[in-house]
Amino acid sequence: MSNAPITVLGISGSLRKRSYNTAALDAAIELAPPGMTLLKADISDLPLYNEDLHTDVYPEMVERFRKQIHAADALLFVTPEYNYSIPGVLKNAIDWASRPPAQPFAGKPAAIMGVSPGAIGTARAQYHLRQVAVFLDLKLVNKPEVMIGGAKDRFDEAGKLIHEPTREFVRQLLVSLHDWATLLKK
């Protein structure tokens, strides 16, 4: 692994205060390898996508989010699974950011992980997000796939990821993202 510095923008697809997915993003921030700075995006104030709101300029909060994506060397999506797919709030954020001009996702290295109380740990949502990523021209890390099931047994009451094998899996994903972003920078 190279220690070349990269900045990663983490995007949680959950707005819930005690979200396991936001807690997993917090764990990723803590577990970031040397050379990686992982920042957290706030998508809670983005309006519902409506092209009428984008005349000559984007709404201020949308422009802020687009600039964060542009500035990042890579992205980390942390998605819950709602109704076998990605949550509307995450899709809404992606829809806003992906509008022309200068779509900020194109060519950007990215990784996906997710947490659920169920056994399959957001697998279906992650595969849907991968389909969206193809259109956005994101360059996704293929492995490891981090699908954290059984959330209540992996996090403590304060929301800290305490399951060491899962923490190691998150570390491996971040190392892969770091290496992938470094390779694509060359």
The verdict on whether omega for the bond into residue 104 sits within 30 degrees of 0, i.e. cis, is no
pLDDT given for residue 138 in this prediction: 98
| Nearest-angstrom CA–CA distance, 180 and 185 | 9
Q: How many CA atoms lie within 13 Å of 185's alpha carbon, on the beta-carbon side?
A: 15
pLDDT given for residue 51 in this prediction: 86
Which pLDDT band, with edges at 50, 70 and 90, does 95 fall under?
Answer: very high
How would you classify the pairing of strands 36-40 and 74-78? Answer: unpaired
| Nearest-angstrom CA–CA distance, 14 and 44 | 9
- Which position has the token pair 């923008």? 9
Q: How many CA atoms lie within 13 Å of 179's alpha carbon, on the beta-carbon side?
A: 11
| Tens-digit pLDDT profile for residues 51-60 | 888 778 889 9
Residues in a beta bridge with 113: 78, 146
- DSSP tally for the chain: helices H, then strands E: 6, 6
Backbone angles phi, psi at 184, to 5 degrees: -70, -20
| Tens-digit pLDDT profile for residues 98-146 | 998 889 999 999 999 999 999 888 999 999 999 999 999 999 999 999 9
Q: Compute the mean pLDDT over every residue in the chain, rounded to the nearest whole number.
A: 95
